Chain A
């Protein structure tokens, strides 16, 4: 008996590291959303890659060539659009520079939202698990790579679900689908071809990003603000979407002749924006006739409130946008 007990302990001790390693390399299988997201974030900071990305949103297909380089702490990438208007977009952490060769224009902006990702991923388990259930689906080969497939199933009807393919070794997302309540495909983002290699040295890509000679450089200026500051009272419905920030663009106000306020809400995965603008019958009469619009996973709804025009946009079902628009008030 004693000999059997020693043998059993030996087997357990020898299997435990293997089991632990399996869970560590495939957190998707454990159903742990937080670890799965952190691993996914780490993948883009630790692996360089080059590939072709294809986006199918509604009836429209777009594609681009991607170069992604990282040095462990920082990441830089170049996105060369292969469809539509010619444009090259560079991202260095949360700084984004877009080259538009046809108009010889460069748009430079800082996107704070890109810096929020790590925080979101770290506190994801506490919030995301309330709204989504991580369900392992299996393994599939995508773009020549073996992937773990998981589904993030929404726990209510206020948000869409996701099916995600991550490369088994690195955890990088290779394919992502947005699904509605009936599991119908709304939108898909997928690499058609992907190689893990450094296409260019980090510094060289950074140099390209700042080579703006011959271009007119425009800098996007956004001012952080609050809805209350602009006379709005927003009682956000208890749907799990928390207010992230409100921004006001003086440039947009100058170019469009209208003050536009944007408030962003997120549940950690999906986000929505509510825009408040003065009502302009000349430019928004067409939109008024189409109160609900959609493109892939992105939905849009509009509502007129007195002399104001409210627009809600987000990768959420239309009913979620309706709830947010109804929660907006403008006290006299």
Chain B
């Protein structure tokens, strides 16, 4: 018993000693007594408690019940555990590759959509972007909007400029003014832009 406590027994002798302790209540009492003496010698009597055989017995019974319940919940199929359960997912795993592909397509779609709005033919989005990026204005804001033209230049929407355009149309002189020029000017309004 003393050699067992000092971990000096070899496999065959260890096996015989364990069988003797498990099969004999006096041997287990002796085992507890030896441990109590050892604890008393290392730390004092105040720190020592005697072994409670009833508690250990109840603990064993409870552990047996729990083991039986876990065995019932285990899958009945004898198939091997899945690969996912056996090993963590690798970055080059097929599932991750699918996820990465889908994410790339989504990012590409967002980029194309944004680019499409930047190059819209009416230039509206470009103006919106410019307005968004505009820092705090230092001058009084003017109601001006850009309008693309055939020549690619930009016509401003400014009431004052519109007034100048209208004044020019009113007083412009041309042999084609009557009736075509007048009809054209009465049809086309600067506000239509």
Encode contact with B along A29-41: 1 for CB under 8 Å, 0 otherwise.
Answer: 0000000010001
Which chain A positions have C-beta within 8 A of B167? 249, 252, 260, 262, 273, 275
Chain B nearest CB from A63 CB (Å) reads 7
Dominant secondary structure of chain A at its interface with chain B: strand
- Is the pair A271, B183 in contact by a Cβ cutoff of 8 Å? no
Q: Between A and B, how many residue pairs show CB distances below 8 Å?
A: 187
Chain A nearest CB from B155 CB (Å) reads 5
Q: Contact residue range for chain A?
A: 35 or more
- From the candidates A60, A114, A173, A268, name the one contacting B192 in the complex (CB within 8 A): A60
For B137, the closest partner residue in chain A by CB is A285
In this assembly, does B20 line the interface, its C-beta being within 8 Å of a C-beta of chain A?
A: no
- Is the pair A62, B189 in contact by a Cβ cutoff of 8 Å? yes
| A273, B166: Cα distance in complex, Å | 11
In this assembly, does B148 line the interface, its C-beta being within 8 Å of a C-beta of chain A?
A: yes
For A57, the closest partner residue in chain B by CB is B188
In this assembly, does B33 line the interface, its C-beta being within 8 Å of a C-beta of chain A?
A: no
Question: Among residues 136 to 187 in chain B, which have CB atoms less than 8 Å away from a CB atom of chain A?
Answer: 139-140, 142, 144, 147-151, 153-156, 158, 160-161, 163-165, 167-168, 170-180, 182-184, 186-187
For A281, the closest partner residue in chain B by CB is B139
Question: Among residues 57 to 84 in chain A, which have CB atoms less than 8 Å away from a CB atom of chain B?
Answer: 57-60, 62-64, 66, 68, 75, 77, 79, 81, 83-84
Chain A interface (Cβ within 8 Å of chain B)?
A: 37, 41, 44, 53-55, 57-60, 62-64, 66, 68, 75, 77, 79, 81, 83-85, 87, 89, 91, 98, 109, 111-114, 116-117, 120-121, 124, 128, 162, 164, 173, 176, 186, 189, 244-245, 247, 249, 252, 256, 260, 262, 264, 266, 268-273, 275, 281-287, 290, 292-296, 298, 300, 311, 313-315
